[in-house]
Amino acid sequence: GAQQQKVGDNEDQGAVFVFDNINGTWTMTQEITATDGGAGDTFGSSIAFDGTTAVIGAYGAMIDAAPLGAAYVFTLADGTWTQTQKLTADDSNPAGLLNFGFSVGLSGSTILVGADAATFGANDFQGAVYVFNETGGTWTQTQKFSGDDAGIGDIFGISLAFDGTNAVVGAYAQNQGTGAAYVFANSGGTFTQTQKLVASDAATAAYFGGAVALSDSTILIGSFSANPGGVDSQGAAYIFTNTGGIWTQTQELLADDGVASDQFGRALALDGTTALIDAPGAAGPEGPDAGTAYGA
Under the banding of pLDDT at 50, 70 and 90, the label for residue 17 is: very high
Tell me the C-alpha to C-alpha distance, in Å, between residue 173 and each of 13, 47, 161, 247: 27, 22, 18, 21
Cβ pair 139, 104 in contact under 8 A? no
Mark residue 232 as left, alpha or beta (left: phi above 0; alpha: psi -120 to 50; beta: remaining).
beta
Could you read off the pLDDT of 163-204 as tens digits, one per residue? Answer: 999 999 999 999 999 999 999 999 988 999 999 999 999 999
**Structure-model confidence comparison of residues 289 and 18, the more confident one:** 18
Cβ pair 177, 207 in contact under 8 A? yes
DSSP assigned state of 175:
H
Could you read off the pLDDT of 224-278 as tens digits, one per residue? Answer: 999 999 999 999 999 999 999 999 999 999 999 999 999 999 999 999 999 999 9
pLDDT of 189: 83
Q: Chain-wide mean pLDDT for the chain?
A: 95
Burial classification of residue 280, based on how many CB atoms lie within 10 Å of its CB (0-12 exposed, 13-18 middle, 19 or more buried): middle
Q: Is the dihedral of CA 286, 287, 291, 292 positive or negative?
A: negative
**Structure-model confidence comparison of residues 95 and 243, the more confident one:** 243
Cβ pair 156, 163 in contact under 8 A? no
Tell me the C-alpha to C-alpha distance, in Å, between residue 97 and each of 56, 66, 102: 19, 8, 12
Phi (first) and psi of residue 228, to 5 degrees: -60, 130
pLDDT at 92 over 90: no
DSSP assigned state of 42:
-
pLDDT of 264: 98
Nearest-angstrom CA–CA distance, 166 and 187? 9
